[in-house]
Structure 1
């Protein structure tokens, strides 16, 4: 069934693709984002503590979660003629090489305004253990 504003209901889910995190995928994101922070590249540097936090090794860029959520929303919205308009995320848990992560969304509410129709979506990314690594909220517009 094709997604339309009319057939969406609270609690409907959106599933994004799984993503296998590797040292190579982290390095590629460094190259694409020009962010070469040692958090993502330097095992020796990551043996240390950061205040009260010790990650125990390199971690994936948090913005990679953002990108996966954006892909999920665009893959879902674009075929329906909808437009991904807003996304806010929070990083909850570090993601490391060897993790497999997947974004999901849950329709929270719908609203009709004079100019458009809006869907508010709770979004999250979970790892292979079902733990949330990122959470947030997105807004998608279904133009009149």
Structure 2
């Protein structure tokens, strides 16, 4: 999508790339983040009760959702001369090997300040069944020329 700050409207959408979750992608994220928690690696551990939740197997790192959303926002904003400034997310549902997830964004509002212009974006990640697995809000700055 090629546009300018002036042409953006509430309701405009941003689509991120699909991501196929596999045991290998989870392991690679463990290596990148140095997070080797057994909930990401150990099926036997995860088949029991984990706290008060039974996930029934290993799950993807929640921060992997964060990374996918960040990539989507940056891929959209940078060519427009904008900068990704803030991202807040909540994990809503576990993601497992075999899932295919996709981030998306919807422009919520825009605001002009004395030194810059801002766009607020609702973000979400959905799985192949259309279930939301993560949701949040991003802020993008369009610096004044």
**1:140 partner SS:** strand
- Aligned twin of 2:15: 15
Secondary structure at 1:79 match in 2 = helix
| Residue 53 of structure 2: aligned partner | 53
Q: Deviations over 1:68-127 (max 9, x none)?
A: 000000000000000000000000000000000000000000000000000000000000
Which 5+ residue runs of structure 2 have no aligned equivalent?
A: none
Corresponding residue pairs, total = 144
User: Aligned ranges for residues 84-123 of structure 1 at < 5 Å?
Assistant: 84-123=84-123
Q: Secondary structure at the match of 1:60?
A: coil
Question: Counterparts of 1:91 and 1:4 in 2: how far apart (Å)?
Answer: 31
Q: What residue number does 1:71 align with?
A: 71
Summarize deviations over 1:17-44 as a string: whole Å, max 9, x none. Answer: 0000000000000000000000000001
Q: CA RMSD in A?
A: 0.7
Q: What's the TM-score once normalised by structure 1's chain length?
A: 0.98
CA shift at 1:2, angstroms? 1.8
**TM-score normalised according to structure 2 size:** 0.98
- Gaps of at least 5 residues in structure 1 are none
